[in-house]
Amino acid sequence: MFSNSLGTTRAMWDKQATAFSSSFRILRYDTRGHGRSDAPEGPYALNRLGKDVVDLLDALEIESVRFCGLSLGGMTGMWLGANAGNRVESLVLCCTSAYLPPADLWSSRIRQVAEHGMASITEAVISRWFTPSYLERSSSDADTVRDQVVSTSPIGYSGCCAAIRDMDCRSGLSNIDRPCLVISGSDDLATPPEHGKLIAAGISESEYQEIENAAHLVNIEQEGAFNSHVLEFFMQNH
């Protein structure tokens, strides 16, 4: 099960869905407020996003999944591991953080999109999600992500910004007792490697992997290395 980052859709996992489909059944979904999911008025809370996953699994009559989430999706994964561990067999937490202040930054972002729309933040977001060299040589993939950001509901985006602003998963890390792989991008400005190392240190059954020459969307920028690490981890914890 793949969970998307803030401002993207389940399409951010297109390449993984193809690469992993020979080994696993694939479940992707759009986080509340994103893609084709409803965007009710916010603010949202992380426990609501986690319960959305549980509700989806219940509706599909799926007992448990191997869960892979990036950024906001990784935060959702931490909540699941700490609060609904019976629904996840193993976790991959990518380019994410257990606690991401300052709160004022998120409140400012909420005001920005409310007053000026998603287009007003898109270029700044894209420049932090990919390294400059990748943007120079792989404009088509970046354009696909750019389109996802621009088309995200401002209401849904703001609701999820509030969830990130208000969440603190640090105390719950010790409650996660499932095998866990934490992945960071070496050049990630949004959630630097130190955040991934803190998560790995707090989870007893965890391993940490840092992927070189990658910023925030490591699954796209370093697709080959990412797929290799995640597939190996899931197969070992089959």
Residue 8 has pLDDT above 90, yes or no: yes
- Helix runs in 167-237, H state only: 193-202, 218-221, 223-236
Average pLDDT over residues 178-197: 98
Residue 2 · residue 53 · CB < 8 Å? no
Band the pLDDT of 3: cuts 50, 70, 90. very high
In sequence order, what are the beta bridge partners of 210? 184
Rounded CA-CA distance 14/172 in Å is 31
| pTM to 2 decimal places | 0.97
Instruction: Return the pLDDT at 139.
Output: 76
Residue 94 makes CB contacts below 8 A (sequence gap 6+) with 68, 69, 70, 71, 73, 74, 182, 183, 184, 218, 219, 226
Q: What is the chain's mean pLDDT, rounded?
A: 97
CATH architecture of the domain with residue range 2-236:
3-Layer(aba) Sandwich (3.40)
Residue-level pLDDT at 237? 87
68-103 pLDDT tens trace? 999 999 999 999 999 999 999 999 999 999 999 999
Q: Which of 36-40, 214-218, 233-237 has the lowest mean pLDDT?
A: 233-237
Look at residue 80 in the predicted model and tell me its pLDDT.
98
- Are residues 205 and 180 in contact, defined by beta-carbon separation less than 8 angstroms? yes
